[in-house]
Structure 1
Amino acid sequence: MFVPHATAGVALLELGSGSDADLIATLGELLPADGRWRHAHGSAGHGRSHVLPALIAPSLTVPVLDGRLLLGTWQSIALVDLNVDNPERTVRLSFLSG
């Protein structure tokens, strides 16, 4: 799985239990939307969006068997993107036989 965007990543975590909100809160603390960023075009704090893929990779490998993702009981895949300037995103999937 790959997200071909300079401001996005994909994360493997539990969703719906508060972990997703914890992730967003943590990213807000690590990457605040303020004027400190040198990459400064776009909305306030846009530069943080370009640092995000260094923390949350834009790619993820997950095994698939019989057309089903082999995730753990509480695992989900989340697209993570703090960039509010562009709401459209693409996710590319590649499958290798094994």
Structure 2
Amino acid sequence: MMSSRALSRAPITAAAVTHVASSLLTVQTNGAGFVDITGETAKFIAEANAQDGALTLFVRHTSASLTIQENADPTVLADLATVLNRLAPESVGWTHDTEGPDDMPAHVKSMLTATSLQIPVLQGRLALGTWQGVYLIEHRRRPHRREVVLQFLGGTR
């Protein structure tokens, strides 16, 4: 049984949803890999004059995805790419290969990760942990232009 001393909670803050701000972030990828979009996401929150609420990110593609992951050690992202490639290799003999051998594995990787994220916004800042970053994951080998919808709902300054 856990001691009540092991738990603590900050006081409740409340904000009315008085503001909806939306933007479309276009990301040009260089091919398969992770693109850090944390800075652009934080910039959107600042420009929206966000105070408390929620940010939703949604990628408008079926062969790219979003994730929140460690932003300090790049070997984490390399290892994650290795895992995704092992889970959905090109050499399986996929039925859907119209756009090339990397297309169906890209769809599987997108399904295994996320096409949308929600991040709390507290006191005008993304409530990410110290080592967390927001990434678009390009699952195709060649460069693509990807679109991420950003939408803040909450109160403003």
TM-score normalised according to structure 2 size:
0.57
TM-score normalised according to structure 1 size:
0.88
Structure 2: stretches of 5+ with no match in the other structure: 1-56
| Residue 141 of structure 2 is aligned to residue 84 of structure 1 | yes
Q: Distance in 2 between matches of 1:15 and 1:23?
A: 13
**Could you say which structure has the larger radius of gyration?**
2
Q: Distance in 1 between matches of 2:72 and 2:98?
A: 33
More strand by share: 2
Match of 1:59 in 2: 116
* Aligned mate of 1:47, from 69, 88, 104: 104
Q: Distance in 1 between matches of 2:144 and 2:72?
A: 22
Q: Distance in 2 between matches of 1:4 and 1:53?
A: 11
Write the deviation string for residues 10-36 of structure 1: whole angstroms up to 9, x where unpaired.
111103411111111111111112252
Alpha carbons 1:2, 1:60 under 8 Å: kept: yes
* Aligned mate of 2:85, from 20, 23, 28: 28
Structure 1: stretches of 5+ with no match in the other structure: none
Match of 2:60 in 1: 4
Q: What is the percent sequence identity of the aligned residues? A: 38
What CA RMSD, in Å, does the superposition of the two structures yield over aligned residues? 1.7
Q: Secondary structure at the match of 2:137?
A: strand
- May I ask how many residue pairs the two structures share in their alignment? 98
Alpha carbons 1:9, 1:81 under 8 Å: kept: yes
Alpha carbons 1:62, 1:70 under 8 Å: kept: yes
